[in-house]
Amino acid sequence: MQPTKKDFYSLYIKGNWGFSKAVSKITRFKGHARPLGKKKSVSVVKETKFNDSVISINATFLEVVDAGNRLRGLATPFGLVGGLATLLSGWLVIYYMVAKSTSVPIPIYFLATLLLLLVVLIGFPIFNSLVRRDMFRKTHYPMRFNRRDRKVYAWSQDMGIVTMSWDDIQFYTSEATKSQDRRGMSREEIRGYVRDRNGNMLYHLVFFKYEGFKGMKGVLEIWELVRRYMEEPDGYIQAYQVDQRLLDLDGKRESFIHSLIQATQVIADSRILQVILAMAITWTGTGRLIAKWTCRVPRWPEWVEEKCRVAPDDPYVRNRHTERPLSAKEIVWPLFCYLLGWAEVLTILYFCFRGYF
């Protein structure tokens, strides 16, 4: 399963950063890896958590979001701002070359042509990749862990719906090396792979990831929740009783306030840091809102819904319809941080450009 030029193109230009063939091939066993057994509890986890990863729960299946959902929208502002700047600079170069074609010296004409080529060949692919990473896709790529037929149904960016047997997936923790940490490539996630009968790897993907101060412990709390759900007789009851809020993604696009909540939490777990980093929350929150509203909501096909049919009298159903409404405290704080960030941005812009007005 060697990566090809097409895989690299899909990863960097088209923006396949989620569950896709490109990632399955390119993301190899690098860094610190430790296998995870499905039959044994993780010793460091005393209590399972949703950690902004679970969409719905019932006695038949548990649905979780893709590993990249927490960072959704972070790259969008970079792509939009950089893309607009690239288009503007390209237009200015073309305009200058056409309008001043008779008076432009040959060296300047050559440099302008070189700049235009750099814009087209380097700038556009980079910013297109940043935009395509989050925008014009699905709002999220969910996975369903079905304890009844012991299957995992997962949305893929370029493979449609992928079905895997829970018993065939080999899970392991993946952490960055010290060298990768120094280069800003920190990584705490749980991956899994499936091999065919001949030992060839069919899929290799990231199942769970957590962005926050808890690091690997946060990921293991999600893993332990899913492991208990699939392996223990009362796993669905344990999952039902977790005292955390589910994601507001069950069959719908994420709402404005829930996008701000996710943007606030992914920047920092501490409220003090959230105030200090208010501009970062504004940046991420705005990017998340734009990205989510350019994407389509994923709809499971009928055959998956049939396999995951929930009993009408199931008393362990939890989804966005059964969750309690957001409290005033949950709404006001992320909205305050978001507006504070905008106030800081506008203040900085005012003092930088007040002499021009």
- Which residue has better confidence, 290 or 29? 290
CB 143 within 8 Å of CB 64: yes
Hey, which of 3-7, 16-20, 266-270, 345-349 has the most confident mean pLDDT? 345-349
Is 53's pLDDT higher than 70?
yes
Predicted confidence band of residue 56 (pLDDT cuts 50, 70, 90): very high
Predicted confidence band of residue 86 (pLDDT cuts 50, 70, 90): confident
Structure confidence at residue 298 (pLDDT): 92
Q: Read off the tokens for 293.
A: 């509203």
Structure confidence at residue 203 (pLDDT): 81
Predicted confidence band of residue 209 (pLDDT cuts 50, 70, 90): confident
Structure confidence at residue 5 (pLDDT): 65
Is 312's pLDDT higher than 60?
yes
Predicted confidence band of residue 98 (pLDDT cuts 50, 70, 90): confident
Amino acid at 247: L
Is 152's pLDDT higher than 60?
yes
The C-alpha R_g of the chain, in whole angstroms, comes to: 23
Structure confidence at residue 176 (pLDDT): 64
Mean pLDDT of the chain: 84
Predicted confidence band of residue 335 (pLDDT cuts 50, 70, 90): very high
Structure confidence at residue 184 (pLDDT): 44
Structure confidence at residue 104 (pLDDT): 67
Percent of the chain surpassing pLDDT 70: 86
Q: Read off the tokens for 92.
A: 């200015």
Structure confidence at residue 107 (pLDDT): 76
pTM: 0.85
Tell me which residue has tokens 């091939």: 25
Q: What is the tens place of the pLDDT at every residue in 254-289?
A: 999 999 999 998 887 788 889 999 999 999 999 999
Q: What is the tens place of the pLDDT at every residue in 175-194?
A: 765 554 444 445 688 888 88
Predicted confidence band of residue 8 (pLDDT cuts 50, 70, 90): low
Q: In whole angstroms, what is the distance from residue 76 CA to residue 93 CA?
A: 25
Predicted confidence band of residue 327 (pLDDT cuts 50, 70, 90): very high
